[in-house]
Amino acid sequence: MNDVTYPSISILGSTGSVGRQAIDVAMQNGIRVNCLSAHRNVDLIERQARALCVNACAMADRDAAKELKRRLFGTNIEVYVGTDGICEMATQKYGGREVVLNAIIGASGLRPTLAVLGVGKKLALANKESLVCAGDFVMQLAEGKKTQILPVDSEHCAIFQCLRAGNKKEVKRLLLTASGGPFYGMTREQLADVTPARALAHPTWDMGAKITVDSATLMNKGFEVIEAVHLFGVAPEQVEVLVHRESIMHSSVEYIDNSIIAQMSVPDMRHCVQYALTHPARAEANIEPLDFTKLGMMTFAKPDTKTFVLLDLAKEAIRRGGAYPAVLNAANEVAVAAFLAEKLSFTGIFDVVSDTFEAISDANRIWSVDDIFAFDGAARSLANEFLEKRSNL
């Protein structure tokens, strides 16, 4: 292990896939965990809080917070309530250098992102909706507070590292890789009968249910295009998606001299989490090294955007700007939840998201984050209307 003292961390979304891996990374590297948050998984966050001796916990769900308070009575662990409580907890000063990991799922992660950046803390960002919904506001706030956003997505973490080989003016293209998901090569007709169980069987990554479905529809890759535009200050036309089934090259940067710098490793999210939590240092990792002699062939192909239409819809959203990416995200959250509840077909996700996106006008006229939330709410209501109409057919 490197003889380095790492920043202490707070983990928002500690009971999810990324949050659990962050705890593993922290324990392996002797990183102090200050506080944790979750939605409603009281059993797991209680175990985490006791094992890590954290200062505080927060629960988005008020009933869950009440139960956690009861269980932690007699300890020195403070319990915060609701989204406001998560924001208050995350902005507390716990001494020394600090990093906050935002691994909350969905648009509910936006307010904590803004709160953390607002007090000038370094942010390790796994909540993609923060940048998808309000990328301009998020990046402006980070710049104004002179703080740093460290991407935790494997693709953006890879690009972040590859960009150290040159400067922004020398970048020609960002090449985002995609596994293609479990339904690569299938037609729309074949996708019609896909069940949630099949959609949740990702070929490479171990992730939560919502992001796994997004990977299957390629919506996740569309969101990552939007994220890349904001994070790295490039035009949408400079971001290209490549299907790379082996998930060894996590993304790459092409420079103006036509040379390409790529980041490669075995697919393991702990790489990205650890890089963000120990940055600017690197730490030894208990992860299988990449053996080129056993690797075999690596393949690359263009995505099928005629079948998986949401990727191009995401590109259209970032071109329109304003709240259109937030509209896209809101409609997708509603549609994916309906699919997982077996109230909507897999291909129905494409239809509900597309119909909602095209039905909302003037979303490019926004002046504040409150406008983003207003369009988010309008899109959710409209998406639910489209769902109801489909159920009545």
Q: What is the residue extent of each domain of the chain?
A: 8-151, 158-262+299-391
Average pLDDT, whole number, for the chain?
A: 94
Give pLDDT, residue 1.
Answer: 46
CA torsion 141-125-27-13 (nearest 10°) is: 100
Task: Tell me the per-residue pLDDT of 36-60, one tens digit each, with 9 for 90 and over.
Answer: 999 999 999 999 999 999 999 999 9
Task: Tell me the per-residue pLDDT of 262-277, one tens digit each, with 9 for 90 and over.
Answer: 999 999 999 999 999 9
Bridge partners of residue 260, in order along the sequence? 254
Give pLDDT, residue 4.
Answer: 78
Nearest Cα residue to 381 out of 347, 349, 334, 314: 334
Q: Are 207 and 154 in contact (CB under 8 A)?
A: no
Give pLDDT, residue 205.
Answer: 54
Instruction: Tell me the CATH architecture of domain 158-262+299-391.
Output: Orthogonal Bundle (1.10)
Give pLDDT, residue 208.
Answer: 75
Q: Name the pLDDT band for 5 (thresholds 50, 70, 90).
A: confident
Task: Tell me the per-residue pLDDT of 125-177, one tens digit each, with 9 for 90 and over.
Answer: 999 999 999 999 999 999 999 999 999 999 999 999 999 999 999 999 999 99
Q: Name the pLDDT band for 365 (thresholds 50, 70, 90).
A: confident
**Phi, psi values for residue 149, rounded to 5°:** -110, 120
Long-range contacts at 209-212 (CB < 8 A, ≥ 24 apart): 209/340, 210/105, 210/106, 210/333, 210/336, 210/337, 210/340, 211/105
Beta-carbon contacts of 204 under 8 Å, excluding residues fewer than 6 positions away, are 179, 247, 267
Give pLDDT, residue 206.
Answer: 57
Percent of the chain with pLDDT over 90: 89
Give pLDDT, residue 203.
Answer: 57
Q: How many helices (H) and strands (E) in the chain?
A: 16, 11
Q: Are 311 and 215 in contact (CB under 8 A)?
A: no
Q: Are 100 and 10 in contact (CB under 8 A)?
A: yes
Give pLDDT, residue 200.
Answer: 86
Residue 112 has pLDDT above 80, yes or no: yes
What's the CA gap between 166 and 257, in Å, rounded?
Answer: 11
CATH class of the structural domain 8-151? alpha beta
Mean pLDDT throughout 283-310?
93
Mapped onto helix, strand or coil, the DSSP state of residue 230 is helix
Helices (H), 97-250: 110-118, 128-144, 154-162, 188-191, 196-199, 209-217, 219-232
Helix (H) or strand (E) holding 239: strand 239-243
What's the CA gap between 9 and 332, in Å, rounded?
Answer: 31
What's the CA gap between 360 and 375, in Å, rounded?
Answer: 9
Mapped onto helix, strand or coil, the DSSP state of residue 79 is strand
Task: Tell me the per-residue pLDDT of 193-234, one tens digit each, with 9 for 90 and over.
Answer: 999 989 887 555 556 788 889 999 999 999 999 999 999 999
Cα–Cα separations (whole angstroms), residue 221 to 75, 157, 212, 370: 43, 14, 11, 26
Give pLDDT, residue 392.
Answer: 72
Mean pLDDT throughout 348-360?
97
